[in-house]
Amino acid sequence: MRSFRYALDGVRSVALREPNFRVHLAAGAGAVVAGWLAALSGAEMAVLALTIALVLTAEALNTAIEAAVDLASPEWHPLAQRAKDAAAAGVLLAAVGAVGVGVALFGPRLAGLR
């Protein structure tokens, strides 16, 4: 139970301190509402939920990596910058993938094909 509480504290911390996490959380909530309104199937909603979880996880890991790098290397260092850039790239890749999933799930409906 203690580990679960620590994990929830981490979610709360990221949600309160990281504006980008809140943006992704709001976008995910909007996508869930849109999925409900578009009558996505159970499998489609599962894909949507996993996609949202992937983006939020990437954002949380990016935050953790940035904090650890800042602690380990308070002064600028090229390796520290590379680690932070790579973590940010992970979020970008997840977000771009999420857009692709959104297009695949909602595009045909918006185009009137379903």
Q: What is the pLDDT of residues 101-110, one digit of tens each?
A: 999 999 998 8
Give how far the C-alpha of residue 96 lies from the chain's centroid of Cα atoms, to the nearest Å: 11
Give the active site residues.
59
Q: What is the mean pLDDT of each run of 10 residues along the chain (114 residues)?
A: 94 96 97 96 98 98 98 96 98 98 95 76
Radius of gyration for the chain, computed over Cα atoms and rounded to the nearest angstrom: 17
**Residue 88: its pLDDT value, please?**
98
What gap in Å lies between CA 99 and CA 51, rounded to an integer?
9
| Distances 114 to 56, 85, 106, 109 between C-alpha atoms, Å | 29, 40, 9, 5
* pLDDT the model gives residue 112: 83
Give the pTM.
0.92
Domain parsing of the chain, residue ranges: 2-110
The fold of the 2-110 domain, in CATH, is Helix Hairpins (1.10.287)
Q: Are 29 and 79 in contact (CB under 8 A)?
A: no
